Amino acid sequence: MSSYSDLDVWKISLLLIAETYRVTATLPPDERFGLTAQMRRASVSVACNIAEGYGRATRGEYLNQLSVARGSLTELEALSAVCLTLGFLQPVALRGFDEYLTRVRQMLGKLRLRLSKRTR
């Protein structure tokens, strides 16, 4: 791999960002600076932390950034649950979003496992 942009998990995280923007565009206008902004920031954080980790000097730092990405992914999942609870979104509207969320989570886990095994 010559760049983080070659990583499949990074490519899928970009699709998650696009899906997050699509979903949040339907939230009430008064949530523009609340849930909308927070969900968008969290989704962008996933991709940026994958990229940042790739650029770090050590494998431990890389693993740490992937952990931060996983945290942002969990935050995004929790925020979508808030939207469901408040009735701002219906489960059907989150179908594609949930699929990307699951794929990124699985891919991040596999990447972290692969990197962890190399350090031993």
Q: What is the residue type of 47?
A: A
pTM of the predicted structure, to 2 decimals? 0.93
Average pLDDT, whole number, for the chain? Answer: 95
Q: Domain extents for the chain?
A: 4-118
Interval 21-29 mean pLDDT: 96
- What pLDDT does 1 receive? 66
Q: Which residues contact residue 44 at a Cβ distance below 8 angstroms, ignoring those fewer than 6 apart?
A: 17
Q: Is a pLDDT exceeding 70 seen at residue 120? A: no
Kindly report the CATH class assigned to 4-118.
mainly alpha
36-90: per-residue pLDDT in tens? 999 999 999 999 999 999 999 999 999 999 999 999 999 999 999 999 999 999 9
Interval 99-114 mean pLDDT: 96
